[in-house]
Amino acid sequence: MKIVMLGAPGAGKGTQAKMIAKEYGIPHVSTGDIFRANIKEGTELGKEAKSYMDKGELVPDELTVRILLDRVAQDDCKNGYVLDGFPRTIPQAEVLDAELTKLNDAIDFAIDVDVPDENIIRRMSGRRACLKCGATYHIEHIPPKQEGICDACGSELVLRDDDKEETVKNRLDVYHKQTQPLIDFYTKKGVLKSVDGTVDSAEVFSAIKAILG
């Protein structure tokens, strides 16, 4: 079972990917983790990726796909995997599709965790973090006992730059331009399934399990 997770930043697709991996005994494959592992281990692919990253450039799609295919060729992926954070663009999806076709393989499900922009903005701009102990809160869903103060260590809570409304809107704009077209791509392939990401994460997971069977 080979699964691609789709959804806007803050939609909760990473959480669902981990739950799928645990439930079905398949690896949760995050491209960020693979890059870091290859660079740390000093592999040829890692050195190649690092040469781009050191210059502040994006790693080319072909190299990203080669690193990804190297990862999913490992023994623990023989029964499938969940891809999280890849593909992000149509060119990446096309390269991945072409390489899997060569291996007589294909993606079985592309699961879109669908959450309207206004929900994501409210969800992310409501987050508060303690920079001292790392505890996280939400002003609506998990508020601290005392407003603006961490329950665990008493330090001041902050709104991270990443979670500011302006930043979230910019990230959503990028998502709609680059990643949203993947929904059409996988719809045409007949593998796209959409779930309502506005409900509780356990309910989202139940909907995903009903799709995966």
Burial 179-192 (b: 16+ CB within 10 A, else e): beebbebbeeeebb
Bridge partners (DSSP) of residue 84 are: 30
Name the active-site residue from 13, 71, 123, 128: 13
Q: Which of 18, 50, 66, 88 is catalytic?
A: 88
- How many residues are recorded in the chain? 213
Contact 13, 113 (CB under 8 A): yes
Q: Can you point out the beta strands (E) in the chain?
A: 2-6, 28-30, 81-84, 109-114, 127-130, 136-138, 157-158, 192-196
171 is an active site residue: yes
Q: How far is CA 76 from CA 42, 62, 72, 147, 195, in A?
A: 21, 23, 8, 45, 27
Which of 22, 47, 132, 160 is catalytic? The answer is: 160
Pairing of strands 127-130, 157-158: antiparallel
144 CB-near residues (< 8 Å, 6+ apart): 128, 137, 150, 151, 157
Whether 88 is a known active-site residue: answer yes
Give the residue numbers marked as catalytic.
13, 88, 127, 160, 171
